[in-house]
Amino acid sequence: MTQVIYYEDVNVGDAMPELVKGPLQKLQHVMYAGASGDFNPLHTDDDFAKAVGMKDGVIAHGMLIMGIVGQAITGWIPRKDLKKFGVRFAGMTKPGNTISVTGSVTDKRVDDGKNIIVCEVAAKDENGDVKVTGTFEAALPSKA
Amino acid sequence: MADLSKVGTEYSPITWEVERGKIRELAKAIGDPNPIYLDKDAAVAEGYEDTPVSPTFLTVPMMWADKMPAVINDLKINFMMVLHGEEEYEYYQPIYPGDVITGTPKVTKMEEKTSKSGSKMDMVTMEVVYTNQRGEKVAKARSLLVERK
């Protein structure tokens, strides 16, 4: 099944489908370290993490949470239509957190012949604490 | 404390051959079940030439090429005090397995800021523009590092 979303079918204020993942496991930090090449022990070694002030031990890679936001985006908008994606890392994610990614369309414009939608996204944990906020832009096909 | 005189510094290029297995491995680590990242046939059925890289894939060459630790050292940033503040990607062309991408990390901005609580931080912005083996500009990555002082 080919995933297509047309510019005309997306409106300012529309919500993107919510993605909920968790509870996150320490094992995922190990997998992400190996896949990404980010071996900072803050994410995989509880003793190290405690020694640098994280009283509960390891925290997730921020880029893992950005990756989960990316999963939410390209689960909705085709990967090939995604043109820009940026985040600000706002809070630390711990093992056991369940992450919810939500977003909505904030703007639509035709720019240089391209049909651009602009969306804001956020990832929060089960307590509503914000981990990541960001925006993305996609160029969608038109029915015209 | 970051050496603010290093703004404008360009580092030696990262050259990275993109592998299908690495694309799949990163998607698996994220837990992204989207078949376009996992299976070539599924990707082709969705209109891609092969499995495309997922949105945050460009962190892989940056980290595996040992570039980020080298840059942090050169900028005299204390590794223990550095936080990843922001990350942003612009995507110009698809990146597929077999592509060889090259990017030159550049420090585009360095400034000291004072937080509301009065603590000082150095903010370092780094950009990498990647081109592929055909010389096409494929993507730009921008990272903001924050060093607490």
Question: In chain A, what are the domain boundaries?
Answer: 11-140
Give this prediction's pTM. Answer: 0.96
> B106 - beta bridge partners?
B10, B127
Tell whether the model's pLDDT for residue A1 goes beyond 60: no
Query: Residues in chain A whose beta carbon is closer than 8 A to a beta carbon of chain B?
Result: 2-3, 21, 28, 31-32, 34-38, 52, 62-64, 66-68, 70-71, 73-75, 78-80, 82-89
Residues 6+ apart with CB under 8 A from B74: B6, B9, B11
CA B76 to chain CA centroid, nearest Å: 20
Question: Phi and psi (nearest 5°) for A31?
Answer: -60, -40
Distances in Å between the Cα of B137 and the Cα atoms of A77, A82, A113, B95, B133 are 22, 16, 20, 10, 10
> B88 - beta bridge partners?
A86, B142
Helix or strand run (H / E) with residue A62: helix A62-74
CATH superfamily entry for domain B4-18+57-148: Hotdog Thioesterase (3.10.129.10)
CATH (residue range A11-140): 3.10.129.10
Most confident of A50-54, A85-89, B61-65: A85-89
Match 């190996």 to its residue by tokens. Answer: A34
Instruction: Report the alpha-carbon distance of residue A30 to residue A112 in Å, rounded.
Output: 43
pLDDT (tens digit, 0 to 9) for every residue of chain B, 149 residues total?
A: 788 899 999 999 999 999 999 999 999 999 999 999 999 999 999 999 999 999 999 999 988 887 778 888 899 998 878 889 999 999 999 999 999 999 999 999 999 999 888 889 999 999 999 999 999 999 999 999 999 88
For residue B52, the chain A residue with the least C-alpha distance is A79
Q: Determine whether the interchain pair A79/B54 forms a contact, defined as Cβ–Cβ distance below 8 Å.
A: yes
Count how many residues are written for chain A.
144
Question: What is the ipTM for the molecules in this complex?
Answer: 0.96
Reduced to 3 states, what is the DSSP secondary structure of residue A126? coil
Mutate to test the interface with A, among B77, B86, B140 (most CBs of A within 10 A): B86
Q: Determine whether the interchain pair A70/B28 forms a contact, defined as Cβ–Cβ distance below 8 Å.
A: no
- The reported pLDDT for the residue numbered A2 is 59
For residue A21, the chain B residue with the least C-alpha distance is B31
